[in-house]
Amino acid sequence: MSTVLIVDDEKNYLIVLEDLLMDEGYDVLTASSGAKAIEIIANSPVDTVLSDIKMPGMTGIELLERISALDPDLPVILMTAFAEVDQAVDAMKKGALDHIQKPFDNRDVKRAVARAVERRSLVKNIRHLESELGSVWGNIIGKSKAMENVFTLMKRVADTPTTVLIAGESGTGKELVARGLHKASSRNKSPFVPINCGAVSESLLESELFGYEKGAFTGAASLKQGKFEFADQGTLFLDEVGEMSLNLQVKLLRVLQEHEFQRVGGNKDIRVDVRIIAATNRDLKEEVENNRFRGDLFFRLNVVRIDMPPLRERREDIPFLVAHFLNKFCEKLDRPIKEVHPDVMSALYSYSWPGNVRELENVIERALVLCRGDAIMPEDLPLELRQTPEIEAELDTLVSGEKGLAETLDAIEERIIRQALKNAGNVQAQAAKILGISRSNLQYKLKKYGLLA
């Protein structure tokens, strides 16, 4: 059972709010001052604080600041009179979750407290997961065997100068691993400098990596330091290193061997102490065999290799990732915490995730933006995630020639309409809204497919 602490110097408000929230099933604690509230928080578990702003002694905003120092994850809701709206806005900027205007509507209080309690619960779960994984790895989420292997290897190699190659499909979290390795190393006080080798042209990549001297080429009006110099004493992360041209590979190899380089247009050797972490979504061994990547550079980079598993091979991590992204985007979008409908979780488990964790992150953000109820529903997901095995079977019959295009599309449309009706509780107006068509159009299609009761 969740505990709500009510803070107000007016006894009548304390009594009314205590009765209201106890009727909602919460454990309720009360305090008539900010000082008493701090004492309670220090000695008792509290899930949400509901406090007046204008109180003698410690104000609600001062209480908010004290709570943020004691327990930054504890949600605070502030109650304001009409004339204190500017203070409420200031409080929201300082971290208050919500504000309620006095005299309040009981429904507003219930909604605000329910939202705060849900957020508290979700954040607790996230913190527990992060503590189990080890906070040093930051936002790398996973408890699967595949991710345990990744974490084990990261721990062994993190605080060494060894070059690391991170291999895996796009969206699996290669840069997060690189940042985690840097954070856990003795170089963490120095810069982590990332660069995507496939995002720029060969000439620009050379200038970005090594810098250039004044007058090295048209437009080089002044000396510019490159990424290697910026990363001195720190870590340089070469993302998509397999996209690098053979010409640049030679220059990169020299830095790995000699720990020195020359700027473009220069002839002075510059020594650096940089740890290299590279990442690729290609099979570099195959690239070497096809003469698209230098073998000597491959062996220099491939000292320790970390293979990032695709999401389809670590489906047991999906609930933890969903919880993490829900927390992240609810805060970003200032939305109340949403539940996830079981059909949605089923769809997330069943999907193949070609875009891996990055795609899941985008799906959760999209679903929160589109969600209009208290829970993320199947209709909030992209169409490709809502495609059922039955629809895939219909597509197979089209490819095999058993059915023509029109017949196959009709069969798919009928299944989609059936699912929309199911999700809408057989309310046609709601089903039409889900499908994005008029009610009359829906009724025509119901008649066409014999779905009218």
Report the CATH number that the domain containing residue 150 is assigned in CATH: 3.40.50.300
Is 436 inside any structural domain?
Answer: yes
Interval 259-277: pLDDT, tens: 999 999 999 999 999 999 9
Is 116 inside any structural domain?
Answer: yes
Identify each DSSP E strand in 245-311 by its residue range. 260-261, 270-271, 275-280, 304-307
The range of the structural domain enclosing residue 339 comes to 321-448
Q: What is the pLDDT of residue 129?
A: 64
149 and 297, same domain (yes or no): yes
Instruction: Among 8-22, 298-312, 364-378, name the one with the lowest average pLDDT.
Output: 364-378
Reduce the DSSP state of residue 199 to 3 states and report it: coil
* Chain-centroid distance, C-alpha 29: 34
CATH number of the domain where residue 68 is located: 3.40.50.2300
Pairing of strands 260-261, 235-239: unpaired
pTM: 0.63
106 and 163, same domain (yes or no): no
Interval 345-363: pLDDT, tens: 888 988 889 999 999 999 9
Average pLDDT score, the chain: 87
Is 453 inside any structural domain?
Answer: no
Given a cut of 90, whether residue 32 has pLDDT beyond it is: yes
26 and 147, same domain (yes or no): no
**Looking at residues 361-381, what average pLDDT do you find?**
91
Q: Which residue, of 131, 161, 187, is where some domain finishes? A: 131
Interval 376-416: pLDDT, tens: 999 999 988 876 555 555 556 655 666 666 675 677 678 77
Is 393 inside any structural domain?
Answer: yes
207 and 331, same domain (yes or no): no
295 and 404, same domain (yes or no): no
Total domains, the chain: 3
253 and 326, same domain (yes or no): no
Is 315 inside any structural domain?
Answer: no
Check if the beta carbon of residue 210 is closer than 8 Å to that of residue 226.
Answer: yes
Q: What is the pLDDT of residue 141?
A: 87
How many Cα atoms occupy the beta-carbon half-sphere of 29 within 13 Å? 20
Among 115, 94, 158, which Cα is nearest to 4's? 115
In percent, the amount of the chain with pLDDT more than 70 equals: 90
Q: What is the pLDDT of residue 106?
A: 93
Is 435 inside any structural domain?
Answer: yes
49 and 123, same domain (yes or no): yes
CATH number of the domain where residue 375 is located: 1.10.8.60
364 and 264, same domain (yes or no): no
356 and 299, same domain (yes or no): no
Q: Which residue, of 100, 131, 162, is where some domain finishes? A: 131
Query: What order do you get walking across the sheet with 48-52 strand by strand?
Result: 27-31, 3-7, 48-52, 76-80, 98-101
**Looking at residues 74-97, what average pLDDT do you find?**
80
Interval 193-249: pLDDT, tens: 999 999 989 989 999 999 999 888 888 888 999 999 999 999 999 999 999 999 999
Q: What is the pLDDT of residue 130?
A: 59
3-state secondary structure the chain: CCEEEEECCCHHHHHHHHHHHHHCCCEEEEECCHHHHHHHHHHCCCCEEEEECCCCCCCHHHHHHHHHHHCCCCCEEEEECHHHHHHHHHHHHCCCCEEEECCCCHHHHHHHHHHHHHHHHHHHHHHHHHHHHCHHHCCCCCCCHHHHHHHHHHHHHCCCCCCEEEECCCCCCHHHHHHHHHHCCCCCCCCEEEEECCCCCHHHHHHHHHCECCCCCCCCCCCECCHHHHCCCCEEEEECHHHCCHHHHHHHHHHHHHCEECCECCCCCEECCCEEEEEECCCHHHHHHCCCCCHHHHHHHCCEEEECCCHHHCHHHHHHHHHHHHHHHHHHHCCCCCEECHHHHHHHHHCCCCCHHHHHHHHHHHHHHHCCCCEECHHHCCHHHHCCHHHHHHHHHHHHCCCCHHHHHHHHHHHHHHHHHHHCCCCHHHHHHHHCCCHHHHHHHHHHCCCCC
- Which amino acid is present at 368? L
